[in-house]
Structure 1
Amino acid sequence: MSTSPPLALVLGGTGTTGRRVVDRLTAMGHAVRVGSRTGTPPFEWDDRDTWKPVLDGVDAVYIVHPNPFHPDYTEQIGALAHAAADAGAGRLVLLSGRGDEVSAASEEAVKTTGAQWTVLRASWFNQNFSESFFTDAVRAGDIRLPAGDFTEGFVDADDIADVAVAALTGDGHHGKTYVLSGPRLLSFADVAAALSTATGRTITYTPIPPEAVPADEPDFSAAFDSEPTAPHRILAHGVQQALGRPPKSFAEYARDAAATGVWDL
């Protein structure tokens, strides 16, 4: 008698890490369901009527919420995780943040489901400079932020996806919290220098006061206003712990992204 292969639900399956997880699982021959508004069936965090159909028959779930500033962020993650476990999902992998109370509360909610769980606490993504907030600034040649000398261990989305897939499909990851960063703490001046080398153009970083941030752009002032010992400003070794290899460097990421032409004018 034949049995169906395990089915993994990837929430945010069209997003930065989610689509990479989908691609890897698919290439490995796993059955995958993409959890998104355009998925089949469609999924929306704010429409709980969409939750039951997308969870039906699922064995494992990669949980990514698109908006950590959503007023119901923690409650929604907890409710979704419990609904997934109740529907029969035996393995949950949560992509979380580092060092904030909202992320910590969300992690605790997932841990109380009774399912096997793995938490991935990620630094800011390298791909913020090629697929998100700062792409246009790189193309314009000047990254203007109220960041001062802020440093971050930017992590590559490919590394996050590799750890997520290992946790979704492999053994030895239950009950683990992997704190993910790149191999170096980088200032935005360091980032600009690496991007300049990769693109062959001059990319600068210009520190600005918070009040100079345009009203139609995200204001990251609160994120930059932290002590050097804050959790998200400390290098971590989760990629090495989960995969047995070092994380991708920002310079490698910038070289590879430049080769795609994403920053070409």
Structure 2
Amino acid sequence: MNDLNTTLVIGATGTTGRRVAAGLIAEGHRVKAAGRSATPVDGAQAVRFDWNEPATWDEALDGVDRAYLVPPIGSCDPAAVMLPFLRRARTAGVHRAVLLSSSAIPAGGPAVGQVHQALPGLFAQWAVLRPSWFMQNFADSTPHGRSIRDEGVIMSASGEGRVGFVDADDIAAVAVRALTDDQAPNTDLILTGPQTLSYADVAAVITEATGRPVVHRQLTFEQLRDRWAAEIPLEFATMLAGMDRAIAEGAEDRTSDTVYRLTGRAPGTFRAFVEREVARSI
């Protein structure tokens, strides 16, 4: 451990952020936990941060030399706020940045793809995490989680397409390594679980693990877009529905060895994730 290293974790109470913060703290690293409400995080210094409020940026950046970046939720143009922040971060002394992106978005692509493309020109040490779809998308109060709980249904426009669903625990473990290892990856990293599953496969695993019937209901692109648009801006809903259509065309039917290669442990299976969620709810 180097006591001089302090990591800013943006979104420190979110799905990956809280896991990254916990992983860093467990290894003895200093953490500044940033979020819109400055929620206390055990072992970390909490600070208020909002991408859309530049007045909150300087306090968040004070004394940190590396950062875990979670883009603003629901934004189709995160670069508009992220790039000015990252330029300020570089001036403030941040020298390593790890960006959470998506396997579906390459460098230079839409949304966070523009930030991905710019990152190597801003920091000498960097990594872009490009996880496949989160296993956590099927739990708690997420749209899939609600439809599973309320209707016994998973709705998608993914057809029979397969996805290498990945556990947020594994994403965070890779992020900790990318933030703290002597050499930063200086590349983008595709993160997946150990196998690919269709949404029908997912429904079957949940059924077997919970004893409650769950089925996959296939929607059209338009139906899914309109379903998302009831909760989020239409432009973002259209982009998400387009990602489902890409799944149907085979874009996410792949696995990678990244989790094992960077952490030394195999990525968790979807069945293990569901069994853990069932145990947690008892």
Return the TM-score normalized by structure 1: 0.89
Paired residues, what number? Answer: 258
In structure 2, runs of 5+ residues without a counterpart are 39-45
Instruction: Kindly state the Cα deviation for residue 33 of structure 1 after the two structures are TM-superposed.
Output: 1.0
Tell me if 1:82 matches 2:96.
no
The answer (yes or no) to whether the contact 1:118–1:175 under 8 Å persists in 2 is: yes
Query: Displaced runs of 4+ in structure 1, greater than 6 A?
Result: none
Tell me if 1:129 matches 2:138.
yes
Tell me if 1:152 matches 2:157.
no
Greater fraction of residues in helix: 2
Match of 1:50 among 45, 50, 56: 56
Q: Structure 2: which amino acid aligns with 1:89?
A: V
1:64-92 deviations in whole A, cap 9, x for unaligned?
Answer: 1132x524312323222222221111211
Instruction: Kindly state the Cα deviation for residue 245 of structure 1 after the two structures are TM-superposed.
Output: 2.5
Tell me if 1:110 matches 2:119.
yes
In structure 1, runs of 5+ residues without a counterpart are none
1:203-225 deviations in whole A, cap 9, x for unaligned?
Answer: 11111334445452565421111
Name the Cα RMSD after superposition.
2.1
> Aligned partners of 1:61 and 1:237: how far apart in 2?
24
> Aligned partners of 2:85 and 2:139: how far apart in 1?
30
1:134-176 deviations in whole A, cap 9, x for unaligned?
Answer: 1111212111223322221111100000000111111233313
The answer (yes or no) to whether the contact 1:10–1:18 under 8 Å persists in 2 is: yes
Identity %, equivalent residues: 37
The answer (yes or no) to whether the contact 2:102–2:130 under 8 Å persists in 1 is: yes
DSSP 3-state at the match of 1:260: helix
1:171-203 deviations in whole A, cap 9, x for unaligned?
Answer: 233313211011111111000011112212111
1:102-145 deviations in whole A, cap 9, x for unaligned?
Answer: 23321121111133111111111000111423111121211122
1:243 is aligned to 263
Q: Structure 2: which amino acid aligns with 1:64?
A: V
Return the TM-score normalized by structure 2: 0.84
Identify if the C-alpha distance between structure 1 residues 183 and 228 changes in structure 2 by more than 3 Å, giving closer, same or farther.
Answer: farther
2:42 is aligned to none
Tell me if 1:10 matches 2:9.
yes
Instruction: Kindly state the Cα deviation for residue 237 of structure 1 after the two structures are TM-superposed.
Output: 2.2
1:38 is aligned to 37
Q: Return 101-110 or 213-222, whichever deviates more.
A: 213-222
Instruction: Kindly state the Cα deviation for residue 233 of structure 1 after the two structures are TM-superposed.
Output: 3.5
Identify if the C-alpha distance between structure 1 residues 202 and 99 changes in structure 2 by more than 3 Å, giving closer, same or farther.
Answer: closer
Q: Return 240-249 or 3-12, whichever deviates more.
A: 3-12
Identify if the C-alpha distance between structure 1 residues 236 and 4 changes in structure 2 by more than 3 Å, giving closer, same or farther.
Answer: closer
Q: Structure 1: which amino acid aligns with 2:184?
A: H
> Aligned partners of 1:5 and 1:250: how far apart in 2?
38
DSSP 3-state at the match of 1:206: strand
